[in-house]
Structure 1
Amino acid sequence: MEFFVFCSLLQFLNLQWKSRGFPPGPTPFPIIGSIWWINFRADHGSLKKLAKAYGNICTLWMGHRPVVVLYGFQAVKNGLTNNSEDVSGRLQTFIFNKMADGKGILVSNGLIWKQQRHFGIGTLRKLGMGNKGMERGIQTEAHYLVEFFRDKKGEAVDPSFPIVHAVSNVICAVVFGHRFSLEDKTFRQLIEAFNHIVAFGNSYFYYICEVFPWFVEHLPGPTKNVPNSTFDEDNMVQSVFDLFLGGSETTATTLRWALLYMLVYPDIQDKVQKELDAVLSPSHLICYEDRKKLPYTNAVIHEILRFSSIVLITLPREAVKDTTVLGYHVPKGTLIMANVDSALFDPGYWETPHQFNPGHFLDKGGNFVIREAFLAFSAGHRVCLGETIAKMELFIMFCSLLQKFKFTVPEGVKEINTDIIFGSTMKPHPYKLCAVLR
């Protein structure tokens, strides 16, 4: 017993010594570090409390490993963009290695990440990303989504799966070469599998594995002896997985929030539809270029992205070499955790951060303006490579639906639940709506 106490004391003193020079933070303890300080499953309140106590850049310890936490727009932006390449690594843990074995785009590092990301972007562009080819695919899925709601003839329906189906089929057409029908059992199994993966990302078991890495040390670790060429079948499969996950989950979740907000704010829905009616004919096929003529609608879509804030914290980045973050020396191997949510709700950059307000993206003349604190797609070297596709999908599908339907609360529903389901992405609780043909 005395020996255990002595060893624990030595570990405690060692941690205090190691923490010198890092940004301030809660006192770390042996084995558990200081990650216990944060209740990740509550909301962003505990990170706000952390920033209030220690500043907008502070340090948590995951066991004996330092995690630099960035809070607020200025800290998040500067921390991810200043010396961006230095902090472009991705945390390699048992969980990530079990998922991807260091391959693909999302959780890979070094040469593999650079080659696969470059190839992925190039391939998406060749297959239509950002041009008319991709737009036609999105318009096709928007048409099927409109037809789904039309067939329901105003009856109450849960829009979740049809939305996931429509959004996923856009990327399916790119990476698989065909679209799936709503009745396809294989497709449903694929979506359910992705849902389990996303839910696991913020489960207690995931954090237990991260806080106690010694628990799984005997299991396979990071890929070794990376060859000069990373174009093999394993990387291809993992990259397809990453593109499918990144190209469906986040956009579909945002579109689910979009329709929910139209139920909560019917006056905003009405204003969008009045603008659509004034600018476009009823038979007009919505295209991405229309956003330039629809400033209020474009502002509403950006406010949906801001207010839903579906990714509270970016996947941890890792310093790939000794560097400086906001004036602090950060050694190689330090993790960087950016609270993007805090930038999207930073009271120093948004007039009414905790209100759904499309005016955040409009100037005094009613023209659309982007805001510097709008970091919904992250920043730096790991910025979302699907940002262009996501914005096209959201705009075309949202406008196509509101052009055709008025969305209302089903009869008998007294209250709309806008609380989040906490996971790797922040989903709304299941809900039903009525799509009434206009």
Structure 2
Amino acid sequence: MILHFIYDSLDFKSSVILIFVLLILVDIIENKNPPNFPPGPWPVPFLGTIFTKMDFKTMNKLTEVYGKIFSVRVGSQKMVIASGYKIVNEALIRQSDTFADRPDLPLFNKTFNAIGVALSNGYPWHMHRKFTVSHLKTFGDGKQSLEFGIQQECVYLCDAFKAEKGPFNPLFITNGAASNIVACLILGHRFEYHDENYQNILRLDTECFKLTGYTRAQLYNVCPRLFDYLPGPHQTIFENYRKIKCFLSGEVRKHREDWDPSNPRDYVDNYLAEIKKKESDPEAGFNIDGLVVTCLDLIEAGTETVTTTLRWGLLYMIKFPEIQEKVQEEIDRVIGQSRQPCFADKVNMPYTHAVIHEIQRFGNVLPLGFPKRATKDTTLGGYFIPKGTSITTNLSSVLHDPEEWETPNTFNPKHFLDEHGQFRKKSAFLPFSAGKRACLGEQLARMELFMFFTSLLQQFSLSKSPDEEPSLDGEIWFTYAPAPYRICVSPR
């Protein structure tokens, strides 16, 4: 009777207002934080903290307000942000098993479908990670065959630099060099820097990294069903990835046509063999779709971050010529000009080794890492974190933690040198993240960065373009990349 009376008493406008108020109350009740949950900005009903940018600079500012652990809400999904070395170390190392899963991220799952290595969970993730680690040990990490391949690519890289007749943007060439190492590893061959089809694939992938950092693209995670029908950068991301996966599917198809199980040439061949082995275990996820997505995982992990780090390195060398000269003095003393650098030279080149580490620290290429999800109820930094909660570790705050670095906001290779000028490790150096979700290709990336960097500085002196002053302020993509700049090179 009461409900009937209320219904009869309301006009259309009042009914709409009542329904809206009820929905707000439902949203507040459903999304109420549990006791002792990390504090954070007040969320907007239905949308969460939609007006809070999800970039590392904003996260650093929020840390000053709410502390080193706080929370935000993307739609109805709660996300905890952990900052500072002590808290991040607790999450990634001491609670590595607890924060081993990936959360549901519609913007990425649209393409990666929660398969492969980077975005899968549970048994499929465990099996794919185990298989990929085994392949890297067989075909690469620290093996002479891979080092020889990197040395060959160094020749192509230096030749491409030498062919430039004036100021040029190094993005195109460095991207080609870094991607070729991964291409050889997974596809069995490299691509010429002027291969238009392959360079277009790299451009599409770079554009995805750039657009993914846009707030408008991240809105897709709030309401994917709605945004599926709306234009925006998310549509460009999906179309780019579709073209990239089409390209990779073509490469897989070529491999299947002349595949010899007794003579595996690369990652694709090994994966095809694993598909056969796991026919009785479909839950492991080894199939052609899994192969294509895993290839995409490896290409993205091994190309964009190395390219961006190398670009930061070249930028720092032209901005700090005195550091460039010290690196070249060490190269001349240890390697000379009569042979190529090799990875074993690293132990005899503490200053160059320290400079590369400082490039990674100061460059801050992957400032927020990649989100993880709690597999069980836990506590972090004294706060309660319920099972299923997403967590983002602010790696930028670790690499610039004033409690861990003498001059955190200054480019300073001495961070990695002891009082005797010898290289020293720092526990707060986490550019590759840490724990069970740390970058699989960390050792490969270390080899590439050392050999590319030393090869270039062995052969060239680098300087800025006479008509521009490049900025040390980067652009916030999914990664943190240098703004476009040009360099001049002169043979030494």
Q: TM-score range by the shorter chain?
A: over 0.9
Residue equivalent to 1:210: 221
1:106 to 93, 108, 118: 118
Provide the C-alpha distance between the structure 2 equivalents of 1:188 and 1:335, rounded to a whole number of angstroms. Answer: 35
Q: What's the offset of the Cα at 1:194?
A: 0.7
Range 60-69 or range 295-304, more displaced:
60-69
Range 325-334 or range 180-189, more displaced:
325-334
Q: Deviations over 1:116-175 (max 9, x none)?
A: 11111111211122221111111111111111122235x222211111111111111111
Provide the C-alpha distance between the structure 1 equivalents of 2:147 and 2:363, rounded to a whole number of angstroms. Answer: 25
Whether contact under 8 Å (1:23, 1:59) holds in the other structure is yes
Whether contact under 8 Å (1:15, 1:29) holds in the other structure is no
Which consecutive unaligned segments of at least 5 residues does structure 2 have? 1-15, 230-280
Which aligned pairs between 1:44-193 and structure 2 lie closer than 5 A?
44-152=56-164, 155-193=166-204
Whether contact under 8 Å (1:173, 1:179) holds in the other structure is yes
Residue equivalent to 1:437: 491
2:40 to 25, 43, 46: 25
Whether contact under 8 Å (1:79, 1:326) holds in the other structure is no
Which aligned pairs between 1:6-25 and structure 2 lie closer than 5 A?
6-11=21-26, 13-14=28-29, 17-25=32-40
Q: Deviations over 1:349-391 (max 9, x none)?
A: 1111110000000001100011111110101110011110111
Q: Secondary structure at the match of 1:228?
A: helix
Q: Deviations over 1:166-188 (max 9, x none)?
A: 11111111111111112212211
Q: Secondary structure at the match of 1:436?
A: strand
Q: What's the offset of the Cα at 1:15?
A: 5.4
Residue equivalent to 2:471: 417
The reply on whether 1:306 has 2:317 as its aligned counterpart is: no
Q: Secondary structure at the match of 1:310?
A: coil
Which consecutive unaligned segments of at least 5 residues does structure 1 have? 219-225
Provide the C-alpha distance between the structure 2 equivalents of 1:227 and 1:85, rounded to a whole number of angstroms. Answer: 25
Whether contact under 8 Å (2:44, 2:50) holds in the other structure is no
Whether contact under 8 Å (1:83, 1:324) holds in the other structure is no
Provide the C-alpha distance between the structure 2 equivalents of 1:50 and 1:90, rounded to a whole number of angstroms. Answer: 24
Provide the C-alpha distance between the structure 2 equivalents of 1:420 and 1:100, rounded to a whole number of angstroms. Answer: 28
Whether contact under 8 Å (2:87, 2:380) holds in the other structure is no
Provide the C-alpha distance between the structure 2 equivalents of 1:431 and 1:66, rounded to a whole number of angstroms. Answer: 38
Q: What's the offset of the Cα at 1:323?
A: 2.6
The reply on whether 1:39 has 2:53 as its aligned counterpart is: yes
Residue equivalent to 2:432: 377
Q: Deviations over 1:336-355 (max 9, x none)?
A: 01110000001111111110
Q: Secondary structure at the match of 1:314?
A: coil
Q: What's the offset of the Cα at 1:197?
A: 1.7
Query: Which one has a bigger Cα radius of gyration?
Result: 2
TM-score (norm: length of structure 2) = 0.83
The number of aligned residues is: 426
Residue equivalent to 1:228: 283
Which aligned pairs between 1:293-332 and structure 2 lie closer than 5 A?
293-332=348-387
Q: Secondary structure at the match of 2:308?
A: helix
Cα 1:393–1:272, aligned 2, differ >3 Å: closer, same or farther?
A: same
Provide the C-alpha distance between the structure 1 equivalents of 2:465 and 2:218, rounded to a whole number of angstroms. Answer: 39
Q: Deviations over 1:202-243 (max 9, x none)?
A: 12232211123563699xxxxxxx943321111111111110
2:451 to 386, 396, 399: 396
Provide the C-alpha distance between the structure 2 equivalents of 1:345 and 1:366, rounded to a whole number of angstroms. Answer: 22
Whether contact under 8 Å (2:341, 2:455) holds in the other structure is yes
Whether contact under 8 Å (2:107, 2:218) holds in the other structure is no
Residue equivalent to 1:240: 295
Which aligned pairs between 1:287-366 and structure 2 lie closer than 5 A?
287-366=342-421
Q: Secondary structure at the match of 2:289?
A: helix
Whether contact under 8 Å (2:350, 2:417) holds in the other structure is yes
Residue equivalent to 1:2: 17
Provide the C-alpha distance between the structure 1 equivalents of 2:27 and 2:116, rounded to a whole number of angstroms. Answer: 38
Range 227-236 or range 248-257, more displaced:
227-236
Q: What's the offset of the Cα at 1:410?
A: 2.3
Whether contact under 8 Å (1:33, 1:64) holds in the other structure is yes
1:428 to 464, 479, 482: 482
Give the residue type in structure 1 aligned to 2:54.
Answer: F
Provide the C-alpha distance between the structure 2 equivalents of 1:264 and 1:208, rounded to a whole number of angstroms. Answer: 37
Q: What's the offset of the Cα at 1:16?
A: 6.6
Q: What's the offset of the Cα at 1:244?
A: 0.9
Q: What's the offset of the Cα at 1:408?
A: 1.1
Q: What's the offset of the Cα at 1:12?
A: 5.3
Range 257-266 or range 53-62, more displaced:
53-62
Whether contact under 8 Å (2:54, 2:215) holds in the other structure is no
Cα 1:214–1:31, aligned 2, differ >3 Å: closer, same or farther?
A: farther
Provide the C-alpha distance between the structure 1 equivalents of 2:57 and 2:293, rounded to a whole number of angstroms. Answer: 35
What is the Cα-based RMSD across aligned positions, in Å? 1.8
Whether contact under 8 Å (2:312, 2:359) holds in the other structure is yes
Q: Deviations over 1:292-329 (max 9, x none)?
A: 10000000000000000011111111112223323333
Residue equivalent to 2:263: none
Provide the C-alpha distance between the structure 2 equivalents of 1:149 and 1:62, rounded to a whole number of angstroms. Answer: 44
Sequence identity percentage: 37
Q: What's the offset of the Cα at 1:84?
A: 1.1
Provide the C-alpha distance between the structure 2 equivalents of 1:419 and 1:312, rounded to a whole number of angstroms. Answer: 14
Give the residue type in structure 1 aligned to 2:40.
Answer: G
Q: Secondary structure at the match of 1:87?
A: coil
Whether contact under 8 Å (1:12, 1:28) holds in the other structure is no
Residue equivalent to 1:223: none
